[in-house]
Structures are given as C-alpha cells and as structure tokens.
Structure 1
Amino acid sequence: MPSVRRAVLAAVLSLLILPAVAQTDPVARGRYLVEGIAGCGNCHTPKGPQGDLPGMNLAGGTVFDEQPFRAIASNITSDPETGIGRWTDAQIARAIREGIRPDGRIIGPPMPIELYRGISDADLAAMAAYLRTVPAVRNAVPASEYRIPLPPNYGPPVATVPRPADDPVSRGRYLAGPIGHCIDCHTPMTQDGHRDWSRTGQGGQPFTGPWGTSVARNITPDRERGLGGWTDAQIVRAVTAGVAADGRQLFPPMGYGYYARVDARDLADIVAYLRSLPVQP
C-alpha cells in the first residue's frame, strides 16, 4: 500500500509540475502558443479535403484572394532556402510583432500585426524558439500581391511589452487579442478598410471558402445576437469543438482543432474577457 500511495502522489505531483514546466521552458511555451491559441497553422499550414496536408506543418502556400490583395501564407518552417531557417531570432520576432521582413519589406494583411504588436517579450521569444524547432519543409511560396498601398510601418519600433496582469479579464483580453487575434475576425471593418474598434466583437465579417460563406458571430454579451444567453461551457464548446449553443455545427475559418489544445484556465479567462465586452447589438 505505501508504494501505491507513493505512485499516486507522484502522479498528482507530475500533473501539478508539468504546466509550470510548460510556462518556464521557452520552446514548450512557444509550441503551446503557435500550435494552440495563436493557431498559426490555420493560415500557414496548407489544407486539403481532409484538413492539414501531412508533412506540411507551417510550410505555407495557403492563398487568401480578397479584393484588396492576393496574399499567400509564408513558409515559416526552419528550411533555410524557402522558410525562415536563416533568419535570426531578432528577425523572426520583428516579423511577427512589427510586420517587417529581414529585407525591410512590410508584411501585409491578413497578418494582424496591429494586434501582434501587443505580444509580450517573453511570449515572442518563446514563439521564435519553437519555430526554430519546426522540421524544415522545402516549399517555395510566391510573393503576395497587394492591390492597396501598404503602410511604411505599423508604428514606431516596439521597445518592450510586459506580460498581462494576472487576473482573468486581463489575461483573457491578451489571449483573445494579441495572441489569438479572435477580435480581429470578430470586429467589423470601417469603410476605409480598418477595424472599427468602437464595435469590438460585433461580428458580421463574411469568410468565403470551400464550406461556402460563414459570417463572424457577435461575441459580445448581447442576449439576442451575441453570447449573452450562452453558458460558459457552451462558449468553450463553440471555441474548441465548433458547436453552437443550439447544437449547430459551426464553419471554418475558426481554427477549432488548435483551440482544442488550449488549457482550461486560458479558456476560462477568454470567456471572462468576452463577458466583459461592451454589448454590441
């Protein structure tokens, strides 16, 4: 019996210790972000009828053909010729958070650089560290074409960004904003093509793909059009499994498979943040 108790205690301690290790090990933290809430592969991993193409994780090539641009997701594997294998950590970090390639070219939409500028220094370093470990895939990707002028930059160089405050709403705002960029898709555009942050979370943006056309939902606490009548569990199920409160199957481009990897605390914090949003009818 003592040996059984020791085994049980060891198992319990391992469950307590592993999340802490994931938070302190940069590569583990980077993997959790890139392959989870950030959902980088939702754009950067090419898809087939059955989902992600085998052996092509983060190898780029997905085409986003919209009126203002024909953007092609970059290869962000460690391949030195067609990916980012020759980029320094600082160059990877600058590309993610400031939208500037090593050669000075601006990274255009749909990369939500405006939000990525809020990624904390620690998480940015962790994401770069993980991308270094992604197996190289040789996949040459054509350059994106923009039918609109790109800005010279997205703002002044970002000096430093601390971690968010350790309360549910602050952490949820960070996860749904700079990291997961949920509010990018779920916030409508102004007539001049910018996000209307006065209507954060109101939804309404259409997304057309093989599934047809899906429309970003209102994710504010409005009871008629938003999530005000949903339980926390229903919101989590929608995010991680693509099932609405009434049981309907939700459509892409939401990266449900990535969000299913998000841990319970982070999901609860995201829900807390969504509950805090001003109602948008």
Structure 2
Amino acid sequence: MAGRLVKSIGALIGLGVIGAGVFLVVTRPQPLPDEYWATAGTPDVKNGELVFSMGGCVSCHKKPGAEGADALVLAGGVTIDSPYGKFHVPNISPDEKAGIGNWTLAQFGNAVTRGVGPDGSHLYPSLPYGSYSRMTPKDVGDLFAYIKTLPKSDNVAPPHELGFPYNMRLALGGWKWLYFSDAPRVELANADATVKRGQYIVEGPGHCGECHTPRDELGGFKAGQWLSGAPNPEGKGKIPDITPGGSVASWSEGDIANYLETGFTPEYDTAGGTMVEVQKNMAKLPKEDREAIAAYLKVIPKL
C-alpha cells in the first residue's frame, strides 16, 4: 500500500514537472530573428514620422503636460491606471542610458511587435504590441529611425506598481498564449486597396481596438466584440461602439474622415477625453489614410 502511494506521488510530481516544462516552452518569449528585421531596408525618416503620428507615440511617451516641441522629448513618466495596478510609461528617447539609444532595430522591433524586451523578458501589454504585431518591418524600421532624430532625455520612469500575481512577468507568457496574435481582427473578402489600408492602420499601428474593444477579466479582448465599445479607462462614461451598428452608424465615410481631421462631429460636437490626443495625431495623416480608416469602419461586421 505504502509503495503504491509513493509511486502515485512520484507520478504526480513527474507529471507536474513535465507540465511546468511544457508551459515554460509554450509561453517563452518568442522574438523574431535579426534576419527578419533586416528586411526593413533603408530607413525612410519621413515615413517614420507618419507612423509615429499614426501610432500616437507622443501621447503616452511625452513628459506629462508637455506641449509643442517639448512633446517630442519622449521622456516617459505618464502613469496609466488599470485594474491591475499602475503602469509607468518608459523613456523611449534616443538617450543611450535612460532611453533606447543603444537598442538595435531587432530589439526595438521585438519590443514593439512581440512584447519582448532587450533582455529577453516579456513586456506588459500596456505597450499595445498586440496591435503593433501587424506592423510591417518597413514601418517599424522607419519609426525607429525617426525616433532616433528626436531629442534625448535622461529621465528614468519609476517601475510599474503591480500587485501579485500581476507583478510576475513569467505569467505574461500565459497571457500571450491566450490572446496574442498577428492575424487580422476581421476577415474581409474582396476588400479593395483603400479598405486594406484602413484595416492595417486601425488594427495595427493605430491600435484603435485597445480602447474601443471590451476586455475580459484577464485583460484580453472579448471574442466577437471588435470595436463594439468599452468602459472608459479614465473612469467616466464609455468608449463608443464604432462598428456600423454603433454610435457612428449614421455617419458617412466623409463624416468619419472629417472628424479625424477636424475633431468635429456631424452634429458639430467636438472630440473629448483621450480622443482629443488621438484626433490630433490622425489630423497629421494624409487625407487618403483618414479616408481609408473610414472605409474600413464602414465594412466591418455590425454588432
């Protein structure tokens, strides 16, 4: 009897060890190789500036309260409150010590699109790499080149303030296993070039779903509810449903494009809350890109 018990316990321990090993393998950080990033080609800083606006990088990475030219000093320090604790946005200026001045393109690209830090650790999805994963190597390379032209800052943001178990980076591998994907959010048959461009911007660098899509208890997007609206992270009201069945259902493509350019709705209301910063960034895009966003929003599934 005792022998059987010992064997059973040993078997359970063995299974546990095997299970832990499988978990670690499946959820390990998975950066893309240097060869992948080499396909970015010769940097185009002008396009990098466009991608910078498209991604709204300045909104999070500028020093709190910075305006004008000062906003291009990507010193970090903004605090993002969440149900899991406080995330402090890092310095991504070209400073060699406090920022990303010593990073390679591969390190930058894997942080932005794979959620893997230069030291090989998982990064928290407060950096929306779940959306940025759809960015092309070219756009990532151009963005990196543009950031390197901006002023340096020696500011060091404080570490994140997260309680257990959210302070365990190892668990982020499990989160990625559940939610991380670079597949299209919406399958669109026979989409033309304009819609495809809009899909790329909205689902990728524009990361619109990060605010407009509801999340479950673990912070992943709820299946089948893409862009259907979500609680306002600022605590008041709701981020609107921007599918064809939502609050902008009566807006034409022209109305949407004009709103992104001017901040004015068809009812002559204005953008508010965090959308003010988003709209300012979208206003810097070419007219064709704003029209592409509008075209995409009009053909996604109605919820």
**Paired position in structure 1 for 2:76:** 60
Matched, 1:273 2:296: yes
Which of 46, 49, 53 is equivalent to 1:31?
Answer: 49
Matched, 1:189 2:212: no
Cα RMSD for the two superposed structures: 2.6
Which runs of structure 2 are paired with 1:1-281 in the superposition (5 Å)?
A: 26-34=44-52, 36-48=53-65, 51=67, 54=70, 57-147=73-163, 148=166, 149=168, 150-152=171-173, 154=176, 167-208=193-234, 213-222=236-245, 225-254=246-275, 255-280=278-303
Gaps of 5+ in 1: 1-23, 160-164
The 1:143/1:264 distance shift into structure 2, 3 A limit, reads same
Match of 2:230, SS state, is coil
The 1:250/1:30 distance shift into structure 2, 3 A limit, reads same
Q: Aligned partners of 2:236 and 2:286: how far apart in 1?
A: 30
The 1:214/1:57 distance shift into structure 2, 3 A limit, reads farther
The 1:158/1:251 distance shift into structure 2, 3 A limit, reads closer
- CA shift for structure 1 position 127: 1.2
Letter in 1 for 2:48: G
- CA shift for structure 1 position 158: 9.8
**Paired position in structure 2 for 1:13:** none
Match of 1:81, SS state, is coil
**Paired position in structure 2 for 1:8:** none
The 1:38/1:204 distance shift into structure 2, 3 A limit, reads same
Contact 2:88 2:159 in 1 (8 A): yes
Q: Aligned partners of 1:81 and 1:216: how far apart in 2?
A: 37
Q: Aligned partners of 2:113 and 2:282: how far apart in 1?
A: 21
Larger radius of gyration: 2
Off by >4 Å, runs of 4+ in structure 1: 50-53
Contact 2:62 2:72 in 1 (8 A): yes
User: Which deviates more, 240-249 or 134-143?
Assistant: 240-249
**Paired position in structure 1 for 2:24:** none
Match of 1:133, SS state, is coil
- CA shift for structure 1 position 214: 4.7
Contact 2:95 2:152 in 1 (8 A): yes
Match of 1:135, SS state, is coil
Q: Aligned partners of 1:118 and 1:71: how far apart in 2?
A: 24
Letter in 2 for 1:33: V
Q: Aligned partners of 1:178 and 1:151: how far apart in 2?
A: 21
Q: Aligned partners of 1:102 and 1:146: how far apart in 2?
A: 21
- CA shift for structure 1 position 103: 1.4
**Paired position in structure 2 for 1:7:** none
Q: Aligned partners of 1:192 and 1:118: how far apart in 2?
A: 22
- CA shift for structure 1 position 52: 6.0
Contact 1:98 1:158 in 2 (8 A): no
- CA shift for structure 1 position 245: 2.6
User: Which deviates more, 59-68 or 143-152?
Assistant: 143-152
Q: Aligned partners of 1:240 and 1:71: how far apart in 2?
A: 30
Gaps of 5+ in 2: 1-41, 183-190
Q: How many residues align?
A: 245
